[in-house]
Amino acid sequence: MASYDFLFDNTGLRDWCSQAGEAKTTSMADLLAKTKGEEVSVSVWDFPFPSLDALNEACRKIPETRDLTRGLENGFLSIKDALRFVLDPITEPLSWMLDGALYVADNAPWWIIIPLLLALTLWVSRSWKLVGSVAASIMGLAFIDHYQYAIQTLAIIFVCATICVVLGVPIGIAMSRSDRFQRIALPILDLLQTLPTFVYLIPLIFLFSVTESKLYGIAIIMYAIVPVIRLTDLGIRMVDKDVLEAAQAFGMTPQQKLVKVQIPLALPNIMAGINQTIMMSLAMVVIASLVSAPGLGVLVLRGIRSLELGVGLVAGLGIVILAVILDRVTKSALARVNTAQNR
């Protein structure tokens, strides 16, 4: 006897349930109880929640949970071709950028790449001490033959973080200028921020080939773009209203106020968002190694699959080193911005 038989018997829905054209199956426990002349009963302690599966045991016309998941899967597969037709031309430039960056990382000699990275660090931070730390870290990775993997990881982060900034800052500005747009965007950002990292890969695997670099590029961008959008919106909204009124009194247009007042004053928040976006990009690059993303994540995955403890630990240490480098460089740039504004 199913737990919820009484619900359909007492509400007159038993005939409706029987219209399915199939007899209600009897469980093994019911059959054994009948042979022994016992009546099967469920205690209050073990009484199940009225879920789809529990209701389906009493009435076969109620769908099971697997029917729901199967319907969702079939619905996605039915629109897959249309989605791919729309998304392919839009996302193809992302594949070109990732493939180009990886080609440079794989083919440019180390004596060009390393000085370029150090020059970029010096330009951003204006700190020779930080340049020395970056040089020691990269040369240490090269000394243990992890240079190529580290540069591949940096190339992917550079492309994806740049796209996050190019897309995220305008979206954040639009949110700060429109309360309605903010109300629409916030639930989407909450979804992107709370969705487990592996879940990003599931629909993308069905949409794109694993050999296409945009597969992991889209996942990284979707996962990492949230902080720069949120903090851009927050930074512009936190600009002192008295300053805006003074700018308006001087006859500035809304565009002039945005470019000359709001964005400069919100720059520390925007830089903090860029820092978090870079960190989240690095975290997602490791997960994206499951779908052919190159870099240090491949070695971590190899260590897990082959139970090679040393390989996994050394690659993990390399990721930590990259995270520290990127964090220090972006925070140094943020410190320079704060210093310039406090003068």
Residue-wise pLDDT for 202-211, tens only, equals: 888 888 888 8
At residue 148, what is the residue type? Q
At residue 170, what is the residue type? P
How confident is residue 179, by pLDDT bands cut at 50, 70 and 90? Answer: very high
| C-alpha dihedral sign at 333, 339, 341, 343 | negative
Identify the pLDDT of residue 296: 93
Long-range contacts, 86-91 (Cβ 8 Å, 24+):
87/207, 91/208, 91/214, 91/217, 91/218
| C-alpha dihedral sign at 23, 28, 31, 37 | negative
Identify the pLDDT of residue 134: 94
d(CA 210, CA 293): 9
Identify the pLDDT of residue 32: 53
318: pLDDT strictly greater than 90: yes
CA 277 vs CA 220, 250, 263, 272: distances in Å? 10, 36, 18, 9
At residue 103, what is the residue type? Y
Task: Specify the range with the lowest mean pLDDT, choosing from 15-24, 59-68, 118-127, 305-314.
Answer: 15-24
How confident is residue 250, by pLDDT bands cut at 50, 70 and 90? Answer: confident
pLDDT digits (tens, 9 = 90+) for 119-130: 999 998 888 999
| 147, 138 contact by CB (below 8 A) | yes
Identify the pLDDT of residue 209: 84
| 94, 163 contact by CB (below 8 A) | yes
Identify the pLDDT of residue 23: 47
Identify the pLDDT of residue 21: 45
d(CA 233, CA 270): 9
Largest CA distance in the chain: 94
d(CA 172, CA 83): 26
| 169, 337 contact by CB (below 8 A) | no
Q: What is the DSSP string of 247-284?
A: HHHTT--HHHHIIIIIHHHHHHHHHHHHHHHHHHHHHH
d(CA 83, CA 116): 40
Q: Count of residues for the chain?
A: 343
d(CA 14, CA 7): 9
6: pLDDT strictly greater than 70: yes
d(CA 294, CA 310): 19
d(CA 228, CA 193): 12
Six-digit token string for 160 = 């994806």
Identify the pLDDT of residue 33: 52
Once rounded to an integer, what is the mean pLDDT over residues 8-30? 65
The answer for residues whose C-beta is within 8 angstroms of residue 50's C-beta and 6 or more apart is 4, 7
Once rounded to an integer, what is the mean pLDDT over residues 299-318? 91
Percent of the chain topping pLDDT 90:
52
What is the number of helices (H) and of strands (E) in the chain?
Answer: 16, 0
Place of tokens 């943020």: 334
At residue 257, what is the residue type? K
31: pLDDT strictly greater than 60: no
223: pLDDT strictly greater than 90: yes
| 313, 321 contact by CB (below 8 A) | no
Q: For the chain, give the mean pLDDT.
A: 87
d(CA 40, CA 300): 53
Place of tokens 């993997």: 149
189: pLDDT strictly greater than 70: yes
- Identify the structural domains of the chain with CATH numbers, from first to last: 5-63 (no CATH), 80-342 (1.10.3720.10)
159: pLDDT strictly greater than 90: yes
More confident residue, 32 or 313: 313
| 332, 124 contact by CB (below 8 A) | yes
Identify the pLDDT of residue 29: 53
Q: Which of 201, 155, 94 is nearest to 295 (CA)?
A: 155
Identify the pLDDT of residue 5: 81
338: pLDDT strictly greater than 80: no
How confident is residue 1, by pLDDT bands cut at 50, 70 and 90? Answer: low
